[in-house]
Every structure is written in structure tokens, then in C-alpha cells.
Amino acid sequence: MSERGNGEAWAFFTGAVIGGIAALLLAPAKGSETRARIRQVAEEAVSKGGELVESGKTEAGKLISKGRDKLETFAQKCEEKAAQ
């Protein structure tokens, strides 16, 4: 996942949450219904946020592993060149 794609995902997610809360607050409903809706949206946001964090951790792990592999390959090539 590129840095740009990750930023766009967070921007979309944040916009969706803010838009959802604004819609709930502006819609005519009883206070208790509105609070229940806000609670539900907040719980969904926390859940999706957790999913994004886990996805980010997975992607970071892959990138770290790939970087280590490239570094090891580079180090081996340097040692071979130095030995010549």
C-alpha cells in the first residue's frame, strides 16, 4: 500500500465518520434515539479503525521483511566485491 493510498483511505474514513455524525445530529429524532445512533456509529468507527490498524501492521511487517531481504542481498554483494 503506498503512502498516498493510505492517506486517502484515512481521509475517506474520517469524512465518512464526520458526515455520519453530522447527519445524525441534524436529522429530526428524539434525543435518546440520536444518542443511540451516535453510539452505534462510534462503535462501528472504532471497529473499522481497529481493522485499519491491523491492516497497517500487516503491511508494515511485509515492508520490513522485504527491506531486510534487500539489505541482506546488498550486504552480500558488497562483501563479494570487497573480497575481489
Q: Is the pLDDT of residue 73 over 60?
A: yes
Are the C-beta atoms of 19 and 41 separated by less than 8 Å? no
Are the C-beta atoms of 21 and 37 separated by less than 8 Å? no
Rounded average pLDDT over 3-21: 74
pLDDT of the residue at 69: 94
Instruction: Provide the mean pLDDT of the chain.
Output: 83
pLDDT of the residue at 66: 94
pLDDT in tens, 30-71: 778 878 888 888 888 888 888 888 888 999 999 999 999 999
C-alpha distances (whole Å) from 49 to each of 6, 13, 39, 56 are 13, 9, 15, 10
For the whole prediction, is pTM greater than 0.75?
A: no
Are the C-beta atoms of 45 and 52 separated by less than 8 Å? no
